[in-house]
Amino acid sequence: MHKELQRIRHGYYDLWFGTNAVYERWAKSHGLNNNLLLTLYLLKEFPNDCTQHLICEKLMLPKQTVNSILSGLEYKGFVEKIISPTDKRVKLLVFTSQGAAYADGLLQKMDDFEERALRNMTDAQRNALLEGGFAWMKALRDAIDD
């Protein structure tokens, strides 16, 4: 059984690294890197409560890396910081109109790319992707608490 579990783990890492490489390649073909791409995604997905802390937490990136990404977006006029109306200590990150237009166009291309890939899978494969992924995540969380 140990060999079989080792095979599964190695296969999972191949999947993880390979998927990251595909997204990095896609991002590069659009003039950015995966960290910037995913930051844009998070800014769009959390339009009313996106903070630097949220981005660091979701992407598992150091504060310095995220700060550098955000500084670049601010310099280009794509993002601005506003003070949270509910907590004056918190700075929310929001797209400018120029940034929203840029991100919307780019993220629509990513949606199209992902949908093309998903259409090449059967319903059973798509469902297995999610079910297996969530089961793995739960099993890891349970194992870390053991």
Rounded to whole angstroms, the Cα distance separating 114 from 67 reads 28
> Is 80 exceeded by the pLDDT of residue 1?
no
Buried b (16+ CB within 10 A) or exposed e, 19-28: eeeebeebbe
Does the pTM surpass 0.75? The reply is: yes
Domain 2-145 grouped into CATH 1.10.10.10: yes
Could you report the per-residue pLDDT of 117-129, keeping only the tens digit for each?
999 999 999 999 9
Beta-bridge mates of residue 80: 94
Residue 88's identity, in one-letter code, is K
Q: What is the DSSP string of 32-68?
A: S-HHHHHHHHHHHHSTTT--HHHHHHHHT--HHHHHH
Name the DSSP letter for residue 90. Answer: P
Say if residues 79 and 43 touch (Cβ distance below 8 Å).
yes
What pLDDT does residue 135 have?
97
Rounded to the nearest integer, the mean pLDDT of the chain is 97
Task: Collapse the DSSP code of 89 into the 3-class scheme (helix H, G, I; strand E, B; otherwise coil) and give the result.
Answer: coil
Phi, psi of 108 (to 5 degrees): -65, -40
Match 């769009």 to its residue by tokens.
Answer: 44
